Structure formats: C-alpha cells, structure tokens
Amino acid sequence: MDKFGFTISAGRQIDYDSNNRRLAEYIFEKEPSFRLCIECGGCSATCTTANFTGFSLRELHILIKRGENDQVRQNLNKCMLCGKCTLVCPRGVNTRNIVVLAKNAFQKSDEYEI
C-alpha cells in the first residue's frame, strides 16, 4: 500500500475502565491533601528539576489521578525532593509526600500490582 505521509495519532481518550486507579487511591488514603490540588501548576513552575528537563509535577498529579501509571513510573524518579513545590502550593498539598508515596508504591508494585 502506498504511504501518503500521513499518520494516525494514538487515541487520546481517557479510558477509566482500563486504567489502574489503585495508585491514586493508595495516595488518597495516605495523603488526603492530594484531593485539595486544583492543578494550578505552581509546583511545576518552581520545580528545580523542571529547570533541566521536561518534568511536571502537575502533569504527574493528573496522570496519577487518571490512573495512567506507566508515564508516572518513567518520570517520577527525576524528582529531587527539594520541597519547593510544597512551599509554593497555595492549597497546602503535601506534594513531597505524594512523590515519596508514589515512589514507595512502585517499589512495592511487584507484590501489590499497582
């Protein structure tokens, strides 16, 4: 078949049926302030890591909540845990603990299948 130079972009819909929300629920349980996030992006704006590479804590928060964990897993360890995001957060979300909890969850993931 001839190639016309067009591609079909991957599906962009969020399929909650196939997504795994266990990580989000685990974090909601351990760090209730996660619910307070309004996704303002203050954390991403001040982020030390974001200064060097494409890393956005806001994006990770959204992905965790959607249950798209693979992308979270790939990017999470870029965080340096410096804590600036927690300081700038207007909603008092304990962002640093969310990162630590997610990291721990991925470490345990072999056992718990998060």
Q: Where does this chain bind another protein (CB under 8 A)?
A: 33, 46, 48, 51-53, 77-78, 80-84, 86-89, 92-94, 96-97, 100, 103, 106-107
Pick 33 or 56: Cβ nearer another protein: 33
CB of 105 to another protein, least distance (A): 12
CB of 13 to another protein, least distance (A): 29
CB of 58 to another protein, least distance (A): 18
Pick 66 or 73: Cβ nearer another protein: 73
CB neighbourhood size of 15 (10 A): 10
**Which amino acid is located at 71 in the chain?**
Q
CB of 39 to another protein, least distance (A): 17
CA dist 17 and 89 (Å) reads 31
